[in-house]
Amino acid sequence: MLSGDRTIGLPPFVIDCDTGRDDALAIWSALALRWPLRAIVASYGNVDVEKVTDNCARVLHLAGRNDIPLLPGTSRPSRNHRGFRETVLPRQSAAGNGLCDIELPKASSPLPKPLSPAAMAGEIEKLAAENGPLHYIILGPATNFAALAGQLGANLSTCVSSVTMMGGTFSPLREELGKPDFNVVCDPFAVRDLLARNIPVAFVPVNATWTLNHYRPEAGRFVGNG
């Protein structure tokens, strides 16, 4: 891992997530390291999109960053399918609040309303106009991005420079699961759409993200950010 200033060369980015504990840590890490996080996009996944939106708002509130736009997105996959019915819905029913039932302080502002795909595209276009093309990081289902890409069409590359998705697995988890990971299972059709776009895409296997390393001074920034 790099030492010193980790902001050098980082493009402005958005995080599209179904905020559970791992996504909360990712957001807090980005903020503590002063990375150029420009917005959070909320998606169904671990829990329904209403709970995810609330979780994202609480995570930003605890960090003192209510200024970062929170954009609630889709509540369901791009099409109904067996994996959603047999894997996603049962997990949502068993997941409590999605944050291990830890109650973070409630955000002080009312929660934003869900955005239509057209409205979401408009928000991303505004962010890109202000910051240049954005790196789009997907930590949950790819549904929001697939809808966004469909709305932006030929203008996608002017708003999004590249995509990184937490998805896929490597051994031994691949053999233990015997099926795709949860993020892919949520909406494999959206993942297929993502791969069909003429835009750089990178996948980070889920079990490559399970260890989070920070230097001691960086851990101190978490304390400073609440």
pLDDT tens track for 77-93: 999 999 999 999 999 99
Helical spans, DSSP H, in 78-181: 82-83, 89-94, 117-131, 143-152, 156-159, 173-177
How far lies 11's CA from each of 8, 114, 161, in Å?
A: 9, 27, 9
Average pLDDT over residues 134-153: 98
Model pTM? 0.90
Longest dimension (CA), the chain: 47
Average pLDDT over residues 171-189: 87
- CB of 208 within 8 A of CB of 168? no
Assigned CATH for 15-224: 3.90.245.10
pLDDT tens track for 164-173: 999 988 888 7
pLDDT tens track for 144-166: 999 999 999 999 999 999 999 99
Instruction: Measure the CA–CA gap between 185 and 172, rounded to whole angstroms.
Output: 18
Who wins on pLDDT, 160 or 221? Answer: 160
